[in-house]
A and B are shown apart, each in its own frame.
Chain A
Amino acid sequence: MTLRWKYSRYFLIVIVAALFAAPILGTNPLSKPGLQQTLAVAFVFGALALTYDLLFGFTGLLSFGHALFFASGLYLTCIFINHSVFVWWIAIIASILLTSLLAFLVGAASLRTTGITFAMVTLAFGEAGHVIVNRNFFGLTGGENGIALNAELIPQIWVGVVNTKYLYWSALICLILTYLIIWWVTESSAGRVFAALRDNEMRVQVLGLNTRNFKLLSFVIAGALAGLLGSIMLLLAGSAAPRFAESNITIALLLMVILGGAVTRWGAVVGGIAYSFLTTRMQDLTQNGLFAGLPKYVSGPLSEPAFLLGIVFILVVMFAPGGLSGAYYKLRLRSISKKYSSSK
């Protein structure tokens, strides 16, 4: 199996190299820790959106419980490190393994249903996870306030505002790692089966393949990667809080994938980064009185990021189902066919 290099590879390499070099190249916006932190979080969400694209875009599984595995990685890593069960890097590996097990169990139960029922069931499991971390069983999860990561037990290059650039690089590396894994998975023969399942499950069944096992495989891979990203998020946020387990996170992932465009990989990443970056920025802007001049009944909804996002989301679903990357490919296709017809 070979991974195809497309013509856009130089473009991509330049962007990634620029992102890597920016924090240490003289003075530019990215040499400030504030923007580094915002972008690092955006990278994690870009990668998380990509894992969701594997489920929703590539395999056709509309899951509303993906935040469960993100939160599981986050909380397990935090608990392992804080209670000195493992050294930080074993804690991350252990939490990924346990998250995979959780994804296996949840997936095995939910995949007994299909389609819309599957969506409802995964939502219920995701919400159960949110409730559990909120309740603080055995004093492990800290309830509504969450738990702060004990900064003395992780490498010191990840601690402190001065060292934000190391967090930024770690997040960027994780994004690239996730991208490569998803790329490899979706181009592998199992990835072909995933796509076939999305397009016509009955035909895959007729070919004699066990459809549920393949779906479960996709579910577990996406869950395991979400667990890894949860661990990175823990380093970025410095604490594990119930808001990471909310179903709103999964709905945000769905928005990122749809707005960026499913199945193209880069669409989900761009959607995730843009969504995360813009919502953070918008909160800053509204706090600084961006809509201060408008009457309350206009400025109120406008200052909630969900308002504009929801409207754009509805419009994209109704009129531009391919999202951003879909629109890009449509344009390219049009220009190619135009070139072809004019040369004739």
Chain B
Amino acid sequence: MSTFLLMTITGIGLGALYFLVASGLTLIYGLMGVLNFAHGAFLSIGAFVGLWFATSIMKEATIPNFILAMIVGGLAAGFFALLMEQLLITRLYDRHIDQVLVTVGVALVVGAVLGGWFGNDLRLFPTPLWFLTGINFFGAIIPADRIIYIATAVALLIGNWALLRFTRIGLIIRAGVENRNMVNALGINVRRAFSTVFFLGGFAAGIGGVLVSVYSSGVSPLIAGTYLIYGFVVVVIGGMGSVTGSFVAAMLIGVIKQFANYYVTGLGDFVIALLLAGVLLVRPQGLFGKRIS
């Protein structure tokens, strides 16, 4: 029983990391139809800026300092995302394939710059000691860092939901995901919503970057790739444009992967590929996606 609980909660913790990447991807795709390959770059930027902040500005690895580093990393990635959107994406208005290609280019450049500056070896991230302790949860000893991942993901989900539900810009974003042309026709400037979504997506990915560097016990430009691919898988399974769908799919994938890896080492990725194929065969639009006519 305690093993089952441990596997489930660590799986959810992993899913929380996937969700941080996928939430931005799904909103950006839902609103603008842009498949953002540079999302992995946002993750790396968040991780490296967070690392810089945690080591050079904050000398001590305490929990408040860590949270601050997380937010700084998130903001840096968010502003980078905003910059990319303003400089490149908006100029390719409605050229969706070209937008994808440009994000591929940005991913290459950022990867090369980070690799050239810092090298591709893992750099240790200063982690508060508390993260390394275990918490007794109904008899199962849960690593404390998983709690942080889950809490951050839930906070982001709630924040996202509140923003989309209760603010004017959220209303425009929701309407834009539903039918962008109609919103435009009503004389509302969707561009601001685009920028907001890019910033939020970058912010979430940057925070994810800091957490991922704790999870994989170090920062490296090479880490982002795997998470980007899992982000894509989560978005496809959850349904494009649906944040709730991404949340559910991320948790599902995290837990399934954890269990599969527990029984046969290395089987997790394979099972996820099968799951993806299965979902596509039964429900091509994803679990929470709208049917495409």
Contacts and interface: CB of A to CB of B under 8 A. Distances in A.
A and B found bound together:
yes
Q: What size tier do the contact residues of chain B reach? A: 35 or more
Contacts, number: 126
Interface string A301-343: 1111111011101100110010000000000000000000000
Contacts of B284: 112-113, 117
Interface in A125-173: 125, 127-128, 131-132, 135, 137
Interface stretch (B2-10, B47-55, B107-115, B174-182): B107-115
A160 B258 CA distance: 46
A304 B112 CA distance: 6
Interface of A: 62, 109-110, 112-117, 119-121, 123-125, 127-128, 131-132, 135, 137, 247, 251, 254-255, 258, 296-297, 299-307, 309-311, 313-314, 317-318, 321
Interface string B103-132: 011111101110111000000000000000
19 contacts: A62-B97, A114-B292, A115-B96, A119-B100, A124-B273, A125-B273, A125-B277, A299-B116, A300-B115, A307-B112, A309-B108, A310-B106, A310-B107, A310-B108, A310-B112, A314-B88, A314-B106, A318-B92, A318-B98
B280 A109 contact: yes
A48 to B, nearest CB: 18
A304 B116 CA distance: 7
A110 B229 CA distance: 15
Contacts of A300: 113, 115-117
Contacts of B91: 318
* A contacts with B: majority SS: helix
A301 B101 contact: no
Contacts of A127: 229, 269, 273
5 A-B pairs with the lowest CB-CB distances in the bound complex, closest first: A300-B116, A310-B108, A128-B273, A307-B112, A301-B116
B235 interface: yes
A285 to B, nearest CB: 15
Given A113-B284, A124-B233, A131-B270, A317 B98 contact: yes
